Structure 1
Amino acid sequence: MQLKDALFNWLQIQIVWEARPSDRSARDTVLFFTEILREDHQVSDLEKREEESEYVISFRQHDEMLSYSFPKEAAEKLLSDIVSEPKYNQSFE
């Protein structure tokens, strides 16, 4: 998996987990992508920042600070799809 794809997948599921903190599947998937980023891409110090129209992911890779930006609408699509699907619309508090 390419670095940018892994970062985007991590971001999408991180947004889901933040919106649904009791969702164990979301938590486990965040941990899975965090591990991929750490082991396959040597990423550490992973942080996300929400801006007006995008999310910015900052991280350290090979002793260099880097960042990628992703459109907010694309990053939040997974959460939107989950919320709009009745079988996944359980209470997660």
Structure 2
Amino acid sequence: MRSVQDALYNWLSIKVVCDARPEDTAARETLDLFDGIIKDEHHLTNILVTTDEVMYYVSYTHEGESKKTRFPRELIEVMLNQINQEPDKYCNFPIES
């Protein structure tokens, strides 16, 4: 991921899916991937997500500096809405042990 903004956008989009579908193993694996990117590549810490009717707000610390960004809900929730509209296309396949 080139920019912190892009990494946070992808991370938050899949986090919203994961939060809504905790049994979705593919979403969890993808969230883990993006979690690693924002923490290991971009060195973000103290990540906090809040929301209102219109926006998601992400506050975080980067290189010792507190920062905040925001994303429109309609952008972040696109993936979740698509899954909810066509759930048959997004079956969960549990990891076999």
Q: Taking structure 2 as the reference length, what is the TM-score of the superposition?
A: 0.86
- Extract unaligned runs of 5+ from structure 2: 93-97
Aligned to 1:88: 90
Q: Give, in angstroms, the shift of residue 22 of structure 1.
A: 0.8
Distance in 2 separating the partners of 1:12 and 1:80: 11
Aligned residues: 90
Distance in 1 separating the partners of 2:46 and 2:35: 11
Aligned to 1:79: 80
Is residue 83 of structure 2 the alignment partner of residue 64 of structure 1? no
Q: Taking structure 1 as the reference length, what is the TM-score of the superposition?
A: 0.89
Distance in 2 separating the partners of 1:29 and 1:69: 21
Please, what is the CA RMSD of the aligned residues? 1.2
Largest Rg, 1 or 2: 2
Aligned to 1:46: 47
List structure 1 segments (4+ residues) > 2 angstroms apart after TM superposition: none
**Matched residue type, 2:39:** R
